[in-house]
Amino acid sequence: MGRKLRMGMIGGGRDAFIGGVHRIAAFIDGEIEMVCGAFSSNPEKSKLSGEELKLSADRVYGSFEEMILKEKELPADKKMDFVSIVTPNHLHFAPAKMAMEHGFHVVLDKPATFTLAEAIELKEVIDRTGALFCLTHTYTGYPMIKEAKHLIATGKIGKVRKVFVEYPQGWLTEFREGSNYKQAAWRTDPKRSGISGCMGDIGTHAFNMAEYVSGLQVQSICADLHIVVPGRLLDDDGAVLLKFEHGATGFLYATQVAAGEENNLKIRVYGELGGIEWQQEDANTLQVKWLHEPTQILRAGTPYLSANARFGTRTPPGHPEGYLEAFANLYRNFALTLQARLSGDAPRPEWLDFPGIEAGIRGMAFIENVIASSKSELKWTPFDPGS
């Protein structure tokens, strides 16, 4: 089964939300231990975070460059195996590239990079270095999403006709950037988030979900983005009409100003014979609707699920798993694949099911295309994949 993998973290200091999530996701299955970190570009803050996280002081670094260079010099049985990068978007590309070029594997928070061009370049780095790379599109880590993909891929609901994905949140209903609220501040700041706010932050999740579950690629879009809250600098709401390959159509909408909504990601796909429906806030349930038979309620952990879906659950049916376990599924699959590589074994097919740079490039292309379409007076904008 190999040994525990050693993780170094870049970003994710004290008040960060997503850094803590990555750590839980990495720890939960006992396959990964955190050995070092560069938690902040402020060395003092990094040090404090390292103490809180019970790291040895000599493994807490003041910058990612320092961490990568110093860890590289450590003995093979001590140095980190991979980095987990959980910084804001503008600080994804440089550490990922440097880590891989110095022999480390990479787990990277989404969206992949600051621009599409960076994502395409990152693919070249991955190809050149042979590093293992995982992009943390959490929501495709849910077991019932894997089951949905399986049902569609095996033709159970027939040829896909419609794909509806929606992602309402309410946490940016008010102008919170001005307050001392780190999450809101960087996500609405073009310098750190990129050219899109809502579409970059959660629209990319919805887009990834739509393509992952349906198995179809988007070919044309018609986007209508809004800055709803006065004073905000990036879109906080938007709808996108979609045309997929093979004639399917649908829409995506994402908003962060739906007052009272939490994190209500939902996907519905309809084919000629039936449809599937899944909602993140009730994640252990997959509805399968049939044209001529009663709807079925598929549940996580049950023996009738496909291998991929079963592998994504740790407990028997009725013991709900959630967001952290979905996130952990990405880390676990990444870790098992990496352990197999390190010990020269063949990975099991289930382990390979985690998002890579291709999903990252699609996501960055989505952001650039959706911004382009939103500025266009024409209804349809062909989806330019960028490469």
Least Å from the CB of residue 319 to a copy of itself = 4
Query: How far, in Å, CA of 248 to CA of 216, rounded?
Result: 8
Least Å from the CB of residue 121 to a copy of itself = 32
Do residues 186 and 19 lie in contact, with contact meaning Cβ atoms separated by under 8 Å?
no
Which lies closer to a copy of itself via its Cβ, residue 102 or residue 162? Answer: 162
Task: Identify whether 294 is preceded by a cis peptide bond (ω within 30 of 0).
Answer: no
Least Å from the CB of residue 251 to a copy of itself = 5
Least Å from the CB of residue 39 to a copy of itself = 14
Query: How far, in Å, CA of 151 to CA of 193, rounded?
Result: 35
Least Å from the CB of residue 120 to a copy of itself = 28
Do residues 278 and 148 lie in contact, with contact meaning Cβ atoms separated by under 8 Å?
yes
In sequence order, the 6+-apart residues with CB closer than 8 A to the CB of 31 are: 4, 5, 331, 332, 335, 336, 339
Query: How far, in Å, CA of 305 to CA of 334, rounded?
Result: 22
Amino acid type, 127: D
CA distance to 2, 6, 203, 237, per residue, from 357 (Å): 26, 22, 17, 26
Least Å from the CB of residue 3 to a copy of itself = 6
Query: How far, in Å, CA of 50 to CA of 54, rounded?
Result: 6
Query: How far, in Å, CA of 327 to CA of 107, rounded?
Result: 12
Least Å from the CB of residue 30 to a copy of itself = 6
- What radius of gyration, in Å, describes the C-alpha atoms of the chain? 21
Amino acid type, 40: S
Least Å from the CB of residue 57 to a copy of itself = 13
Which lies closer to a copy of itself via its Cβ, residue 63 or residue 264? Answer: 264
Least Å from the CB of residue 379 to a copy of itself = 5
Which lies closer to a copy of itself via its Cβ, residue 21 or residue 361? Answer: 21
Which token pair is 235? 């879109």
Do residues 26 and 334 lie in contact, with contact meaning Cβ atoms separated by under 8 Å?
no
Which lies closer to a copy of itself via its Cβ, residue 112 or residue 172? Answer: 172
Residue 221 gets which letter from DSSP?
Answer: E
Amino acid type, 157: I
Query: How far, in Å, CA of 178 to CA of 208, rounded?
Result: 31
Which lies closer to a copy of itself via its Cβ, residue 30 or residue 75? Answer: 30
Query: How far, in Å, CA of 308 to CA of 183, rounded?
Result: 33
Which lies closer to a copy of itself via its Cβ, residue 14 or residue 102? Answer: 14
Which lies closer to a copy of itself via its Cβ, residue 99 or residue 265? Answer: 265
Which lies closer to a copy of itself via its Cβ, residue 74 or residue 273? Answer: 273
Which lies closer to a copy of itself via its Cβ, residue 19 or residue 95? Answer: 19
Which token pair is 2? 């190999």
Query: How far, in Å, CA of 337 to CA of 340, rounded?
Result: 5
Which lies closer to a copy of itself via its Cβ, residue 178 or residue 260? Answer: 260
- What ranges make up the beta strands (E) of 45-111? 82-85, 105-108
First to last CA, the chain: 38
Least Å from the CB of residue 274 to a copy of itself = 5
Query: How far, in Å, CA of 63 to CA of 51, rounded?
Result: 16
